[in-house]
Chains A and B, each alone.
Chain A
Amino acid sequence: MDATLDSTRPSAPTPPRRRQVVPSAVLGTLFFVVAEVMLFSGMISAFTISKAGALPGMWPMPGQPRLPAEATALNTVLLVLSGVVLLVAHRLFKKQSPIAHWVTLAAWALGAGFVALQGVEWAQLLAAGLTLTSSPLGSFFYLIVGGHAAHAVLALGALGWAWLQMARGKLTPGFFFGTQTFWYFVVLMWPVIYARVYF
């Protein structure tokens, strides 16, 4: 009898099961977020040094509008609130709660509100004469805040897709946690930008 067909032969030891400590989507997103944080750090660094080097009374330049720090505080509250709501959605999703997707949608809506209000603010600033080429403040403002807005739109797309999949019952935890990681980056990066650029 062929030895390979002998059922009494002891089988080879099975390799230990590989356990996933961190979902690949989360780890990949984290490394992407590290790169993006450094991108924003570079831009904020350049902004800080330029602002510090400006002559007295020249920042912002005469004739240029001031940034609406008070009005933007509302946008900031909306964005931070969306991060908190998404945390709640995360807990509900882990408990397989049927309302998890509605809470995720609420977080998405708050984030979308932030982006929409930013758009209104940009329109007002453009009308007031602050453009990409009107002054160094304008250049930095549209570069840094625009870069953040681009990330916010991308993250909203991912979060919207996650919500859709959750509503269909097809969402994998890895994708949802990866999306959350990206959204928390958008949420936590904003107060730093707000504090540095608007004041």
Chain B
Amino acid sequence: MLSLACAVCGAGNDPSQGSYVVMSIVISLLPLAMLGGIIAWVVVRARKADALDQKTEDVGPSA
């Protein structure tokens, strides 16, 4: 009955070990990927805005 009540009583089996490895990799890389994505997005937007500013300056304020 203990094994019925406890879902982790088979924790030593192969699928369980594989899950530990896979989920450890996912949880380790996910925050890096998300923060890297945000930084990259902000950098791209900043460069686009810079390019737009440059274009405006080249045309001149009277245009």
Contacts and interface: CB of A to CB of B under 8 A. Distances in A.
A135 B5 CA distance: 7
The binding surface of chain A is classed by DSSP as helix
Interface in A1-57: 19, 21-22, 27, 30-31, 34, 37-38, 41-42, 45, 48-55
A34 B38 contact: yes
Contacts, number: 73
Contact of A34 (B9, B26, B35): B35
Interface string B19-38: 11011001100110011001
B46 interface: yes
Nearest to A33: B34
Interface stretch (A58-66, A78-86, A117-125): A58-66
Size category, B interface: 20 to 34
A49 B4 contact: no
Interface of B: 3-4, 6-11, 13, 15-16, 18-20, 22-23, 26-27, 30-31, 34-35, 38, 41-42, 45-46, 49, 53
Interface of A: 19, 21-22, 27, 30-31, 34, 37-38, 41-42, 45, 48-55, 58-59, 61-62, 135-137
